[in-house]
Chain A
């Protein structure tokens, strides 16, 4: 079920939209792909935690410790329900980057006899459109274990070249790690099909869901993946909180990655045993207020409805793609059709470097991302140094797109191209 919402009303919940930008302009925030803005409800939830319930979770016999634990575990419950998972399968980390590294390290720490261990000759499959956070951990794991890193190529339209899927995902493949939606191209990948292929050869499927979970309904069991990572800050939640979801059978069998307080069952001077998941993977006092803030963010998003947000994103993207197609000297890097595509538009302007584009847009209060977007190999593939990227979210509207298009025309005039 989905209903319309009004971005202008949404913006009233986000204090940052009151800010006056360069050139005395209002803020047109088109950089949610990097980080989203935060509504008052999220900020209040964090503040309320510190002001009324602050204590180290899972420790102490006092009232505050009880309340803090309840708030923290309540947030875990919200995340689990949000992505269709069991609550014990949800691990809080500091970021999606940490989540992905944790999986790579944990698998790398496996007993050599375990089915999770990697050895020379095994394969790890990624793609050319991965964010550095879902590329380098696997590069490094391959180096540490002697496994081979192979990848899906990206075609000219910015889609995965699936013709090589059967070659890439074969009996030697142990891990397939892919992004749900490219942070640069906006491409949404056919995850359920690829996860099924991975499982047929006994491989694990790791999903980077940073760009998908905040924008459309994501259900881990429907996708059939084994691990999923996303960050709170791209989903109108606080910074410093990320989620690692893993199937319980894996989490049970896997070695922890960080050791210390909270994650143990028993400890002697020479030995330790581990608490069950998720505690096993949450050493130290966690980012509690941030987890609670993420819970509030999920409440906010679900109150609007993820279907509604997905529809809104799609309408804006379709509208923007149509406008972009009519701009001369401007090239969209990524799919031009609005099918299986998220609310991210990367583009180049002939004769103007992205940094200069971003600078002129900034003068109109338009915040975009410029550069390689932590996807340097993808830039090389397209033979470009970088792009300018506009990414949309629930607080953006058609007027924001119009403003962007008009400012691109002004940028061209300014640089006389």
Chain B
């Protein structure tokens, strides 16, 4: 079924058992993002130490795609430096915009390649990107603060 290309087992697993979904109170930036078209919301706490993602945690409501994607993202960027994390973010964004034509670099994206099928469902791309955009925003806000 076409649906199985969207809902890979990895996604359903992350949905049922999301990682880092409990806000850690120590952070360098806290962001709140919403998807106005469906009402999904996410709060994300990020702690940067130097260039490194020291801690990342989140809470929110959303569909399986947004929840799984955020969960996978947190696992991918935790402990990485900003440059590597942003390289993953860029690869993932490109994958989402590929209209089903790309499968994604598995070395870079790991579990996130399971979300490749989302790119064939335009209405769901925003769901998949919700957590990633929150992460990007949190990094920029942390850097702004640390730069002050």
Contact = CB atoms under 8 A, between A and B. Distances in A.
B3 A360 contact: yes
A356 B38 contact: no
Nearest to B41: A385
Interface in B95-137: 121, 124, 127
Interface string A404-417: 00000000001100
A179 interface: no
Interface stretch (B23-31, B62-70, B76-84): B62-70
A286 to B, nearest CB: 30
B7 A386 contact: no
B49 interface: no
Given A355-B65, A356-B64, A385-B61, A363 B1 contact: yes
Interface stretch (A53-61, A69-77, A135-143, A371-379): A371-379
Interface in A353-375: 353-356, 359-360, 363, 370-372
Given A355-B127, A363-B2, A385 B64 contact: no
A50 B67 CA distance: 49
Contact of A385 (B1, B3, B7, B39): B39
A385 B37 CA distance: 11
A356 to B, nearest CB: 5
Contact of A22 (B2, B39, B65): B2
Nearest to A372: B39
Of the candidates A22, A352, A356, the one having the most CB atoms from chain B within 10 angstroms of its own CB is A356
Interface in B52-66: 61-65
Nearest to A24: B2
A29 B2 CA distance: 20
A359 B40 contact: no
B12 interface: yes
Interface in A377-413: 379, 385-386
A379 B1 CA distance: 32
B38 A359 contact: no
A359 B39 contact: no
A129 to B, nearest CB: 16
B10 interface: no
A391 to B, nearest CB: 18
A23 interface: yes
A355 B39 CA distance: 10
A353 B62 CA distance: 7
B144 to A, nearest CB: 30
Contacts of A379: 39
Contacts of B67: 353
Given A360-B3, A363-B1, A376 B63 contact: no
B62 A359 contact: no
B46 to A, nearest CB: 23
Given A371-B38, A414-B7, A359 B2 contact: no
A110 B3 CA distance: 55
A360 B41 CA distance: 22
A385 B2 contact: no
A415 B64 CA distance: 10
B136 to A, nearest CB: 22
B1 A355 contact: no
Contacts of B7: 356, 414
A372 B39 CA distance: 6
Contacts of A22: 2
Given A371-B38, A386-B38, A415-B12, A355 B3 contact: no
Contact of B64 (A353, A363, A386): A353
A276 to B, nearest CB: 41
B129 to A, nearest CB: 14
Nearest to A376: B39
B6 A359 contact: yes
B2 A356 contact: no
A106 B133 CA distance: 40
Which 8 pairs, one residue from A and one from B, show the smallest C-beta to C-beta distance? A355-B63, A353-B63, A371-B38, A372-B39, A385-B61, A363-B3, A356-B64, A386-B39
Interface of B: 1-3, 6-7, 12, 37-41, 61-65, 67, 121, 124, 127
18 contacts: A22-B2, A23-B3, A352-B64, A353-B61, A354-B38, A355-B40, A355-B63, A355-B65, A359-B124, A371-B37, A371-B39, A372-B38, A372-B39, A386-B38, A386-B39, A414-B7, A415-B12, A415-B64
Given A363-B1, A414-B3, 11 more contacts: A22-B2, A353-B67, A354-B38, A355-B38, A356-B63, A356-B65, A359-B6, A359-B121, A370-B38, A379-B39, A415-B12
